[in-house]
Structure formats: C-alpha cells, structure tokens
C-alpha cells in the first residue's frame, strides 16, 4: 500500500503555469508526500484593471483542457472552481484537510497584491504556503544596478543578467501525481464561459495548439528548423522566421529555462551552421521579456501611466473613427493593415509589424498608446501585461529605454525593407494581391493603368491613406515641441 495517503494532502494552485515538466510548485507538493490536489480558480475580477481579454480567454480554455488531460494520465485530475481565490482555497482546505498550499509566482501588480494577502492570511491559520519562480530566468527583485536601483536601460540590464549563473536544468514531468480518494466538487471548463459566443475564432484554431504538448512541439520545430536562420529571417513578416512561443510562455506551458537550455544545446551542436549568433539574438529576445517584467515589478503604475512623467500631459487626440479604421486594418497603409488583419484572424502579429502598427497609431494618428495597448490586450493570444506595456511605451517614447520620440517609422519604407516582395501584404490584404512589388506598399502612387490591371480602385476596393505620413510626422514632432 502506498504511504502517500497517510500524509496530509497539499493543494497545488495552477494559475498560468500550465505544465507538468519543470514546474517547481508541483515538485514541492510531491516532495511533501501525501496526495496533491491541483486546482484552477477562475477569478478574473482579481486581475483588475486587466482581466484577460477575449483571445487570452480562448487560449486559457484550451490550455486548461490540455492540462486536465495531462493530469488524468498521471492518475490525477484538475479541480476547477470559480469565485474569490482566497475563499475557494479555504474551502478546499476544509474539505480535504490539506496542510499546505503551493503555487508559482505571477508578477502583475494586482495579482501580486492579492497573492501576498492570501499568503499571509493562510499562514496565520497555520497552513504552510510556499511559492516559486517558474515564469522567469531571474526574479525582478534580484537584479539591480550598481546603486541598488532597478535598471531602466536594456543593454546594461541584460549584461548584468549574463553575469549571473545560468538557469538550472529543467526537471522532467513526474511519472504519477497522487490524488485523494475523496470526491471533490469541480465545475466544467465550459461553464466558465471562456470561449466566444460568436465564432470569430476559426483562424485561432488553424494557427495554434495550446497546451504543454503544443509548446514542446513548437520549440522542437523552431530549434530544428528556425534557429539557424533566426537572425536574418526574424524581421521579415512574410517568412515564418520567429519562434511563435510567446503565448505558450505567457501561459506557462513552457518555461524560459526550458527554452534557454534547448537553444543553448542546439547552438553548441550546430557551431558550424552559424547558429551561435542566431541563438544569442534569440536569447536576447527572452532577455527583453525579462526586462519587461523587471520594469512592471519596479514601476507598477506603468501599465496605465507613462514611466517618463513629462509624457503625462502629452496632447493625444480623441479620434474614434481613426482608431476604428486602425483596428480594422483600413488605414490605407498596406503593411499596417496587413498586421491588424493578421491580428484579428490569428490572435497574433509579427513583432516587426507590431512596432510599425504601434508607431502609426501613436505618431501618425496621435492616438494614445493606452488605446493601442487595450486593443492588443483584447486581441493577442500572447497578451502579456509586462510585454504589452514595455512595447507600447517604447514605441510612444514614454517608457524605459524608449525609442526617442522623433524615431517615427515610415510605413512605406518599413514595408519595402522588410516585406520587399509584398508576400506578407498579399497574404493579409488580398485586394492588393495583383499589385506589382514596386507599388504594393504605396498603391496611391501607382499609375492609373497599374491600378486598373491589378483590379484596385482606391477609395472603393482599398482605402486611400488616412493621413499623409510626411505631414503626420511633422505634426507629431510639433506635438512634442520638436519642429522638423
């Protein structure tokens, strides 16, 4: 007879760490001995003012389905409840006699606040509470500059991280997870209402496989096929040159240490294949994710307000028609429209295009970065508060290590440089499919007969540009007090 069941049970609280491999909270629960009760609590109100958006909820549903199946195979099951996290945990402790609660840390300000409160009230009642890092290479409070303050520039931040010891080797999933004999109440995942009522999600099903298995498959494919060319290919949206691991990372279906070690191993193996440089470039992208978390942890107000206070009074325009045209990919600038349409259909947008589309909103249309951040939050499957905040503040020029405000992306030049044959634009803006490469990023400059031959009628089949970029650039510089 197993000795497990003589010991008191422990609760494993899953939040956004939906994997069984390399999961320190799960490991600690197993080491304690006794049965383990995995629970997921749906409490979106506790993530105010940033509860998960529609695309995130779609992913969450499918990720939880995958986690429940994986737990079943280990002789366990996922208990799903909704309501106040603290109340659900207390109830579960009463029902099962559990003496310990384990979880992996999250770093969003509202969630941190809630977790600290729960930890202290449970400990006050004699419950053992242990929390772990499963989401980052380095915890935000362990990294500081020479004067003991948080970094605000990426390069010295990442250099300092490089001087720290490597993340430890990932631990494989356990063979089995003991579950208590008692029957425990659980609600169906469908009852949480995470999936959309109207079917806008067909493209998401085609593009993604949420869950730990999908994450491992994505990493394997990238390391085998994508890593060698990552350096040249990552900036070209027409190629599948990026890892597309971001949503899997956000939901903790794979951890950064697993990615780190897989990429290092592949680089070491393929020295002669020019993989080293690509590996360094790719790991630096993981570094940007770490930096984003570092900033949000130390400057929690930045999800809603600029880090650089001089931007508090920036004269943003109110332009409901403008933001709607941008959201729907009807700006008249093909590379921008392609990005917004890719986002709507697949829940994702290529990183280079995110920068171009964001720059267009905040610089060409003078619409606040917060409006863009909200749209990305609702439509991206990898919507991540730290990354989203860093990206938008960087583009708007009001964050840490921000692009200077006068760096304004020219959508025509960016399109020509990174999508020279218009592959990406043709895929997402099919009405321009027959435009020659020379004009695909600036159809309004094309001669009449070229437009006619391509079946493009500006203002009818494809919009005229919303703004003249050169004039919009001048207006943006005047708004910040920099004529030119």
CB 428 within 8 A of CB 440: no
Q: What are the C-alpha distances in Å from 178 to residues 128, 173, 264? A: 19, 14, 34
Give the side-chain half-sphere CA count within 13 A for 243.
Answer: 32
Beta bridge partner(s), residue 462: 458
**What does the DSSP assignment read for 300-369?**
GGGGTS-SSGGGTT--PPP-HHHHHHHHTT-SS-HHHHHHHHHHHHHS---HHHHHHHHHIIIIIS---H
Instruction: Compute how many other C-beta atoms are within 10 angstroms of the C-beta atom of residue 14.
Output: 24
CB 151 within 8 A of CB 160: yes
Residue positions annotated with a catalytic role: 285, 288, 316, 351, 369, 392
Q: What are the C-alpha distances in Å from 161 to residues 144, 156, 288? A: 10, 9, 11
Q: Which residues of 57-94 are buried (b: 16+ CB within 10 A; e: fewer)?
A: bbbbbbbbebbbebbeebebebbbbeebbbebbbebbe
Residue by residue, what is the 3-state secondary structure of 135-156? Answer: CCCCCHHHCCCCCCCCCCCHHH
């Amino acid at each position: 007879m197993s000795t497990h069941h003589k010991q008191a049970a422990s609760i494993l609280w899953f939040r956004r760490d939906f994997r069984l491999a390399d999961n320190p909270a799960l490991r600690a629960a197993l080491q304690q001995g006794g049965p383990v009760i995995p629970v997921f609590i749906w409490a979106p109100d506790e993530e105010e003012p940033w509860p998960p958006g529609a695309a995130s909820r779609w992913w969450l549903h499918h990720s939880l389905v995958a986690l429940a199946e994986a737990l079943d195979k280990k002789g366990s099951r996922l208990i799903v409840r909704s309501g106040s996290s603290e109340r659900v945990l207390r109830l579960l402790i009463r029902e099962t006699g559990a003496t310990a609660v384990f979880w992996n840390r999250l770093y969003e300000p509202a969630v941190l606040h809630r977790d600290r409160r729960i930890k202290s009230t449970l400990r006050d009642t004699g419950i053992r509470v242990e929390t772990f890092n499963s989401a980052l290479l380095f915890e935000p409070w362990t990294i500081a500059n020479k004067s003991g303050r948080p970094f605000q520039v990426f390069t010295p931040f990442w250099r300092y991280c490089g001087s720290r010891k490597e993340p430890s080797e990932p631990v494989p999933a356990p063979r089995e997870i003991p579950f208590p004999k008692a029957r425990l109440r659980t609600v169906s995942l469908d009852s949480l209402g995470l999936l959309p009522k109207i079917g806008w999600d067909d493209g998401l099903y085609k593009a993604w496989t949420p869950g730990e298995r999908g994450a491992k498959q994505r990493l394997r494919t990238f390391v085998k096929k994508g890593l060698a060319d990552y350096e040249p290919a990552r900036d070209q949206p027409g190629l599948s040159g990026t890892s597309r691991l971001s949503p899997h990372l956000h939901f903790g279906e794979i951890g950064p240490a697993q990615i780190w070690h897989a990429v290092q191993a592949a680089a070491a193996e393929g020295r002669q294949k020019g993989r080293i440089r690509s590996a360094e470039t790719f790991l630096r992208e993981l570094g940007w994710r770490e930096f984003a978390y570092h900033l949000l942890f130390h400057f929690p107000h930045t999800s809603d307000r600029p880090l650089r206070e001089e931007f508090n009074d920036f004269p943003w325009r109110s332009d409901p028609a403008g933001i709607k045209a941008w959201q729907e990919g009807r700006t008249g600038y093909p590379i921008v429209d392609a990005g917004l349409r890719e986002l709507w259909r697949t829940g994702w947008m290529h990183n280079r295009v995110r920068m171009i589309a964001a720059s267009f909103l905040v610089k060409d249309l003078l619409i606040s970065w917060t409006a863009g951040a909200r749209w990305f939050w609702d439509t991206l499957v990898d919507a991540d508060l730290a990354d989203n905040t860093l990206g938008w503040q960087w583009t708007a020029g009001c964050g840490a290590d921000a692009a200077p405000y006068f760096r304004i992306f020219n959508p025509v030049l960016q399109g020509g440089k990174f999508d020279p044959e218009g592959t990406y634009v043709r895929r997402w803006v099919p009405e321009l499919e027959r435009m020659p490469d020379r004009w695909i990023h600036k159809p309004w400059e094309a001669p009449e007969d070229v437009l006619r031959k391509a079946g493009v009628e500006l203002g009818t089949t494809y919009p005229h540009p919303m703004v003249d970029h050169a004039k919009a650039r001048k207006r943006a510089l005047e708004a910040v007090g920099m004529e030119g």
